[in-house]
Chains A and B, each alone.
Chain A
Amino acid sequence: AQSVTQPDIHITVSEGASLELRCNYSYGATPYLFWYVQSPGQGLQLLLKYFSGDTLVQGIKGFEAEFKRSQSSFNLRKPSVHWSDAAEYFCAVGALGAGNKLTFGGGTRVLVKP
Chain B
Amino acid sequence: GAVVSQHPSWVICKSGTSVKIECRSLDFQATTMFWYRQFPKQSLMLMATSNEGSKATYEQGVEKDKFLINHASLTLSTLTVTSAHPEDSSFYICSAPAGSPNTEAFFGQGTRLTVV
A94 at the interface (CB under 8 A from B): yes
Say whether B112 contacts A99, CB under 8 Å: no
Q: Is the interface of B mostly helix, strand, loop or mixed?
A: strand
Given known A43-B109, A100-B34, A100-B95, contact A32–B103 (CB-CB < 8 A):
yes
Which residues from chain A contact B104 at a C-beta distance below 8 Å? Answer: 46, 49, 100
Interface string of B98-116 (1 = CB under 8 A from A): 0001111111111010000
B44 at the interface (CB under 8 A from A): yes
Which residues from chain B contact A36 at a C-beta distance below 8 Å? Answer: 107
* Contact-residue bracket for chain A: 20 to 34
Say whether B46 contacts A100, CB under 8 Å: no
Q: Identify which of A43, A46, A51 contacts B108 (C-beta below 8 A).
A: A43
Say whether A94 contacts B43, CB under 8 Å: no
A103 at the interface (CB under 8 A from B): yes
Q: How many B residues have CB within 8 A of the partner chain?
A: 25
A100 to B97, CA, bound (A): 6
A105 to B97, CA, bound (A): 19
Interface string of A83-103 (1 = CB under 8 A from B): 000000010001011011111
Q: Identify which of A43, A46, A51, A94 contacts B93 (C-beta below 8 A).
A: A43
A interface residues with partner B (beta carbon < 8 Å): 32, 34, 36, 41-46, 49, 51, 90, 94, 96-97, 99-107, 109
